[in-house]
Structures are given as C-alpha cells and as structure tokens.
Structure 1
Amino acid sequence: MNKPEYGNDPHRWRVTISHVDPDAVYRSIRALNGFRSWEDPPRTLYQLATTTLEVVRDTGTWTLLINGASTDCVQDTVARLGYQPDDVKPHPLPELAGLPEQVQRARLRNAGAA
C-alpha cells in the first residue's frame, strides 16, 4: 500500500509545466489558500497544501515546477490548479535537489562520516 508522506519530508517528485502566466499561477494559488513563501526574481516559491511550487523564468518563458513528497500530492496539485494531470507526468528528483548548497554539502559530509 502506498503511504502518503506529509510534513517536512523531502520533496521527491516534480512536475514541470511550461509557458505559464505567473500572475495567473499566483491568483490560482491564492484562491486555494496557498501563499508566496519567497521571491527573488526570476524565481518565486509558493506553498500549497503539501507541495512547493516554483515559478521560474528561463529563456524568455515562465515555467511552473510543482514539487511534492509523492506522485499523488503532485498530481492533486496539478488538478487543483486547473491543469490536466494526464498531460504531465511526475518524475523523481535526486535526494538533495532543491536544497541550499550549504545544506547539500553538510548532508554529504555527514553521510561520508557515517
């Protein structure tokens, strides 16, 4: 049985949706009681339920990255935002992806000491 993971569990799955309107994404997240957690152009982070969303500008287009602890969490967020879950497939993330560089180095250092 697939146990859902919540809380501070690392985000292991990601969906990428290209060519999004960042203002429309913001309005959708706010309508679902999500919030902006960090902004540093060209990247903005949002929290919605058990997922972290990133809106990033890359080569002239805006891309939405939805990160979650399980494929179900990610697909649920895709659907709640009005995108078609069948059109995007979650892909696994490396364990340390998305962590600040200092945290990555510390975890790798600690893993080597074990």
Structure 2
Amino acid sequence: GLAFILNIFDIRFCPFFNIFNIPCPACGLTRAFKLIIQFRFIESLKYNIIALPLVIFAFIYIILLITKRIDLLYSFLNKYKKVLIVITIIIMLIVWFININNPLLY
C-alpha cells in the first residue's frame, strides 16, 4: 500500500536500494502490479518478471479458497516442499540478476 502511494509521487521506498544502490528481487513489483491492473501485461514484465506469475498464483489461491479446495494446494506444497524451496531460490536469484541489469529500475 505505502509503496504504491509513494510510487505515485515517484518516491523510492526500497530500503535495499537506498542502502546498496542496486535493485532487490522485489524492486519494480509495485509498478508491475500497477500495469497489470491496467491490463498492460507485457509492459509489466519489463519492471519485474515475477509479478504476473504472482498474480496468477493469487487468483488460483482465491479460487481454491472460495471453492473450499485449498487442501489441494496445501497437499501439493507439502508434497514438493523441498523442490519448491530450491526452485523459488533459483527464480529469485534469476529475477535479482535481471533487476540488477534492468535500467528501468534505476
């Protein structure tokens, strides 16, 4: 919420960026989510490639919650926990590398 409001006034609220002067893996998410809300999906990928998959996962989560099938997600997550942790770490490192080399985030 706060990052979204500050983004309107073009104020950067990333402590990681303010300390180290390089984008973190989450840098650009607010701008990407803002573009997704405007249905500018391809353009959102320029700011953070993980935003669109996060929105898709959130919709799946909400649908499973509403249909009372959330147990399917929990059993999947428990079954593949270790693999998913490794995959998540790899994805975050890739996103971070992309963000560090993304001129739109500076």
Structure number, greater radius of gyration: 2
Q: Which has the higher strand share?
A: 1
> TM-score, normalised on structure 2?
0.24
